[in-house]
Amino acid sequence: MRILVTGHAGFIGFHTARALLREGHEVHGLDSVNDYYDVNLKHRRLAQLQDQPGFSETHASLEDHESLLALFERFRPEVVIHLAAQAGVRYSVENPRAYLGANMVGSFNMLEACRFFPVKHLLLASTSSAYGANEKFPFEETDHAVHPITLYAASKGAMELMAHSYAHLFGTPTTAFRFFTVYGPWGRPDMAYFLFTRAILEGRPIALFNHGESWRDFTFIDDLVGSIRRLVDCVPPAADAREGMSAIPGDSLSPVAPYRLVNIGAGQPEKVTTLVDALEKALGVPAKRELKPRPPGDVVKTFANTDLLQALTGQRPSTPLDAGIPKFVEWYRGHYN
Ligand SMILES: NC(=O)c1ccc[n+]([C@@H]2O[C@H](COP(=O)([O-])OP(=O)(O)OC[C@H]3O[C@@H](n4cnc5c(N)ncnc54)[C@H](O)[C@@H]3O)[C@@H](O)[C@H]2O)c1
């Protein structure tokens, strides 16, 4: 397949592009390689892709809609996996404007490009943050998710809604994933597991927000990429093409459009202190824990229902923290010497 992966210099995009290239697909990456975090890390990821057969790339911003259309005209993707975004929950409280460009204008441009150059399947990265202040656990795709508590969450929710309207109007088959706290080798330096690792090794204290009483559904990168890959083949059917198909219980398939939401998470919330225990064990160094209040925009708990993912793909993420964290630590030690 000819697959466009946006955000391929980023954590998840890099792993996704690499896995698709290994399968022999033709992959084009689109990324602005911005400096939200260490650009060297992004360039080192890119270097791993650049010598692979079947790989090509464009360094441009999603907001540049003319470049995006020109790229579609040249590459004619059959599948688009749209992962590029301004990520980060906490940063969105300090700098909300950053989220409008990439996540709203950029995603809109992607929808327009898929309207003029139709694709077999558009897959979009949304987030568990879309569940916002919901307190019904586990989070199910059919739950109302209308109370985002950060602009990051609101921008991703807006992307989901825009994509639904395009799926309805122009028939673009669309799957929006909601990812739950993804971690692993080549990870994102602004995320807790990465910040904690650095601080523990440098002997600095780590901040445990909400006094350590927070839970996250930690998802190992290889599991996530496996789920993305399998979902590429699960194209949501158009509303008028469903006759004779048996309905999946709990399916989020839209009644009026080829559009579906799918959680990708471990389905196993862990206390953040369990993450710290796993890091201490893998690093062989004790952490200096500092208990802090919950910052604005942070949710207490995330917890994915993964029944739909299992029904669609036959699998769900299963790597526990004490197997995934040592892999991250091994990469970190090798990478940063
Ligand atoms: N990592 C997680 O735990 C997590 C959880 C939920 C959702 N997500 C979503 O998954 C996707 C990938 O996340 P990630 O962790 O790999 O983040 P990342 O920051 O590592 O990767 C995002 C990439 O997008 C690029 N980018 C940003 N704005 C752009 C723009 N306007 N034009 C072109 N490129 C641009 C960046 O340069 C970066 O390389 C994002 O959409 C994110 O919101 C991630």
For residue 194, the model assigns a pLDDT of: 98
Ligand 1: centre distance to CA 87 (Å): 5
Specify the pLDDT at position 176: 98
Q: How far is the CA of 290 from the centre of ligand 1 (A)?
A: 29
Question: Is 48 part of any domain?
Answer: yes
Taking the CB of residue 36, how many other CB atoms lie within 10 A of it? Answer: 18
248 inside domain: yes
Percent share of the chain, pLDDT over 90 = 100
Residue 99 lies in a domain: yes
Q: Indicate if ligand 1 lies below 6 Å from the C-beta of 12.
A: yes
Tens digit of each residue's pLDDT (9 = 90 or more) over 89-136: 999 999 999 999 999 999 999 999 999 999 999 999 999 999 999 999
Average predicted confidence (pLDDT) for the chain: 97
Ligand 1 within 6 A of CB of 102: yes
210 touches ligand 1 (CB under 6 Å): no
Instruction: Give the pLDDT band (50/70/90) at residue 237.
Output: very high
Instruction: List Cα–Cα distances, 102 to 3, 72, 131, 181, 207, in angstroms.
Output: 20, 18, 20, 20, 29
Closest among 68, 73, 36, 30 to 49, alpha carbons compared? 30
Asked whether the predicted pLDDT for residue 337 surpasses 90, the reply is: no
**For ligand 1, is residue 316 a contact (CB within 6 Å)?**
no
- Is 24 part of a structural domain of the chain? yes
Question: What range defines the domain where residue 109 resides?
Answer: 2-187+218-268+303-320
Classify residue 213: in a domain, yes or no: no
Condensed to tens digits (0 to 9), the pLDDT of residues 44-88 reads 999 999 999 999 999 999 999 999 999 999 999 999 999 999 999
Cα distances (Å, whole numbers) of residue 71 to 43, 77, 249, 314: 21, 9, 39, 34
Instruction: Flag whether 204 is in a domain.
Output: no
Q: Domain total for the chain?
A: 1
The domain spanning residue 310 has which CATH number? 3.40.50.720
User: Per the domain annotation, does 294 fall within a domain?
Assistant: no
**In the annotation, is 152 catalytic?**
yes
**pTM over 0.85, yes/no:** yes
Residue 200: inside a domain: no
